[in-house]
Structure 1
Amino acid sequence: MKIIQDNLYHIYNRGNQKQRLFYSERNYNFFIGKIISYIQPCCDILSYTLMPNHYHLLIHANEQSAELLKGRVLDISKLSEGVRLMQSTYTKAFNSEQGICGNLFQQKAKSKPIEYQSTVQAINTFHYIHKNPVEANLVLYPEDWNYSSFREYLDPDFPGLCNKKLALEILDLDERMFHPKQPSPFIRTLSID
């Protein structure tokens, strides 16, 4: 994936043949640890959600994201390598735990660039990511899903993965718009297919 500094990207992937990626809270938390290890150091995470068979990240590419790693057959960005390592190290641990082998994720993670000036597209993606568990009938409200960044935006003191200050600035959002047990503003225009 070609990464351009200061652009936003919707990064996502799902289980190979739509299989489950997460069977337990331990699986979800382990994957969050992989995001912390491999994604967070090389970009600004604006939102995320982990679903039983796929994940979504909305990121802001910073200077480190686009930096190319040299000494390989092909030069790739730090962010691309981070996504590869996040998935491959999770797959190795998951397969070991389950006593299986083979690909866990579809071959390549998808990365949809969002034009920096397209605030509407960025806001729609932000809400789409948070609304995913509701749309899948896993919970009634976004804040009820333990594996998303929505709670980070409800409580300014909630520790988390996201650069909330940057997200609020880029997306022109107000912290006061996040209320518990309220439908979030959302326009259904995105799909992972």
Structure 2
Amino acid sequence: MKYFDKFHPDNFYHIYNHAVGDENLFRKHDNFVFFLSRYDKYISPIAKTFSYCLMPNHFHVLIQVRDEKAIRLLSKNDDDEFDFHKFIMQQLSNFLNSYAKAFNKQHNRKGALFLDFTRRKEIKDEFYFSRLINYIHQNPVHHGFCKSASEWDYSSYNSIISINKNSKLERNAVFDWFGGIEEFIAFHQKEGSIDLDL
């Protein structure tokens, strides 16, 4: 199983990382909120987000990298030798480093916070998309933090189904995969917590 697929324009990826050792990435509500604000600053410009889940010691995100034109405009680089993958990796690194630096300062700690490799798996199968979104949302259920995906405040589940609230998530595309909001909810209820071959 490949965990370090290269980033390419328009492709979908499951991204996840874990805290070092027994450390937690998030110790209080404000940490979750700040992480999402850093995510919006560094990742939203380079990728569309379809689902996420923040757990105390790890996180999962399903994204689609934006097209090459958008990334080149962001990078301000029109060189023929432009390294697309390297630029996306740098944005990801900037994001995690920005969060870790602030977290360390707030909690008076030193050293690495995340594992030194962020796993990324390219997703090509449409059926796997639905199962992966469910897997991401069911993570807190799987780990015993709650009994249903809707009970966890730090995932995209409730944002996706709150159709009257604005969201930067690709809500309509998610509903298209499932066949609508009712089918989205029913799939999560029917499948429950599942394991994927990660």
TM range (shorter): 0.7 to 0.9
Contact 1:65 1:77 in 2 (8 A): no
Contact 2:19 2:114 in 1 (8 A): yes
Q: Residues 165, 147 of structure 1: CA spacing in aligned structure 2 closer, same or farther, 3 A cutoff?
A: same
Name the % identity.
27
Q: Residues 161, 18 of structure 1: CA spacing in aligned structure 2 closer, same or farther, 3 A cutoff?
A: farther
Structure 1 residues not aligned, in runs of 5+:
none
Is the deviation greater in 46-55 or in 14-23?
A: 14-23
Query: In the alignment, which residue of structure 1 is the partner of 2:6?
Result: 2
The alpha carbon displacement at 1:166 in A equals 2.4
Query: In the alignment, which residue of structure 1 is the partner of 2:191?
Result: 185
CA distance in 1, matches of 2:70, 2:20: 27
TM-score if structure 2 supplies the norm length?
A: 0.83
Query: In the alignment, which residue of structure 1 is the partner of 2:50?
Result: 46
Count of residue pairs brought into register by the alignment: 186
Structure 2 residues not aligned, in runs of 5+:
none
Asked if residue 98 in structure 1 is aligned to residue 107 in structure 2, the reply is: yes
TM-score if structure 1 supplies the norm length?
A: 0.85
Is the deviation greater in 37-46 or in 155-164?
A: 155-164
Q: Residues 187, 146 of structure 1: CA spacing in aligned structure 2 closer, same or farther, 3 A cutoff?
A: closer
Query: In the alignment, which residue of structure 2 is the partner of 1:15?
Result: 19
Q: Cα RMSD (Å) of the superposition?
A: 2.5
The alpha carbon displacement at 1:4 in A equals 1.8
Contact 1:124 1:186 in 2 (8 A): no
Code of the residue aligned with 2:115 in structure 1: it is: Q
Code of the residue aligned with 1:165 in structure 2: it is: N
The alpha carbon displacement at 1:111 in A equals 0.4
Q: Residues 143, 187 of structure 1: CA spacing in aligned structure 2 closer, same or farther, 3 A cutoff?
A: closer
